[in-house]
Amino acid sequence: MQAQLQAILEESKKALEAATTVAETEETRIKVLGKKGSLTGILKSMGQLSPEERKELGQAANQVRAEIEALLAETVNHLKEKEKEARFAAEAIDVTEPGKEYKLGVKHPLTITMEEVSKVFKSMGFSLTEGPEVETVFNNFDALNAGPYHPSRDMTDTFYINEDVILRTQTSPVQVRTLLRQQPPIRVFAPGRVFRCDTPDATHSPMFHQVEGLVVDEGITMADLKGVLDSFAKQMFGSETRTKFRPHHFPFTEPSAEMDVSCFKCGGKGCRVCKGSGWIEILGCGMVHPNVLKVGGIDTEKYTGFAFGLGVERVAMLKYGIDDIRLFYENDMRFIEQFK
């Protein structure tokens, strides 16, 4: 058995010296030290020997086992190091190669315009507020003094979810929500999406964006409205911009007006953008109708206010010379990347 132990040791050394992978060393371990391994077989047969022979052979067998285990550990560590070096060599990075190009995203022109409008009104002391896009008929029409037979309530103009709930057609319902939860003085603006039953074309979309403004306090007059909006136009389109107010009708304001600005392309001389008039319609506005103030429990003998609403898409189209509103919603990166 001593000769067998020596033979197993020599055979194991040769096998481990010839091994080129960790898997091959594992095969040698199983062949020698596994449950059915050659060294394990000798250890199991020692029960047939006398106590003196068992002691002597046990010592020799344990010594051989220790040598083989040490050789196994050394060989495995050596092979793992070689495999790591080979992997590092294969995965080497050539730092002189050009890197991958990662394109940075750009802000959408509507986002840019909305942020510019918000910045102007915040600079004048307005607070930003918001309301839900799914709105009640009461807030969208009744509270805004639009009677039951007002044409804007028709299903051809408004998206109805049910008899009492709609997709808001304007941001004006935020006026109502603000009046119901806040007492004067009030100075807020509300940007957001609105929805109307329009067939998409170059100037119409079933979904677009508005910015609503509301001011309520003691002594508010039409002069305050004109002053705020004139200042807005100059900050938005340039200090040389002039404004003009034309009488109009909105059910929730009285008196009502539409504001034009001098064409920022031709300076008022007349061009294709302003259709030769020198002026561009930019928003609707007026003094808040007393019926609207009463919805919020506002004392109309003490307080007055003004409101305005402008279309963000219209401002963006005029400012950037965009002639088709549908371009805003097609997600064509060739279009959007022009606004870097």
Task: List helix spans (H) across 19-135.
Answer: 22-33, 38-45, 51-90, 109-123
| Gap between the Cα atoms of 208 and 168, Å rounded | 11
For position 1, what pLDDT does the model report?
A: 63
pLDDT in tens, 1-45: 667 777 777 888 888 888 888 888 888 888 877 777 777 777 777
For position 92, what pLDDT does the model report?
A: 74
Helix H or strand E segment including 244:
strand 243-250
pLDDT in tens, 95-142: 788 888 888 888 999 999 999 999 999 999 999 999 999 999 999 999
Long-range own/partner contacts, residues 108-112 (CB < 8 A, 24 or more apart): 108/328, 108/336, 108/339, 109/316, 109/320, 109/322, 109/328, 109/336, 109/339, 110/209, 110/312, 110/313, 110/316, 110/328, 112/316, 112/339
Amino acid at 83: E
CB distance 208 to 312 below 8 Å: yes
For position 329, what pLDDT does the model report?
A: 93
Q: Is the pTM of this model over 0.85?
A: no
* Per-residue pLDDT at 150 exceeds 70: yes
pLDDT in tens, 61-98: 778 778 888 888 888 888 888 888 888 878 777 778 88
* Per-residue pLDDT at 243 exceeds 80: yes
Closest CA to 281 of 311, 254, 305, 251: 311
| Gap between the Cα atoms of 268 and 259, Å rounded | 15
| Gap between the Cα atoms of 128 and 52, Å rounded | 97
Helix H or strand E segment including 243:
strand 243-250
253 alpha carbon, distance to own chain's centre: 36
User: How many of the other CB atoms lie within 10 Å of CB of 230?
Assistant: 17
CB distance 316 to 322 below 8 Å: yes
DSSP for 137-163, written as a single string = HHHHTGGGT--TT-GGGSTTTS-BSSS
Can you tell me whether residue 66 is helix, strand or coil? helix
pLDDT in tens, 245-302: 999 999 999 999 999 998 877 767 777 767 778 888 889 999 999 999 999 999 999 9
Closest CA to 191 of 174, 203, 207, 206: 174
| Gap between the Cα atoms of 51 and 33, Å rounded | 24
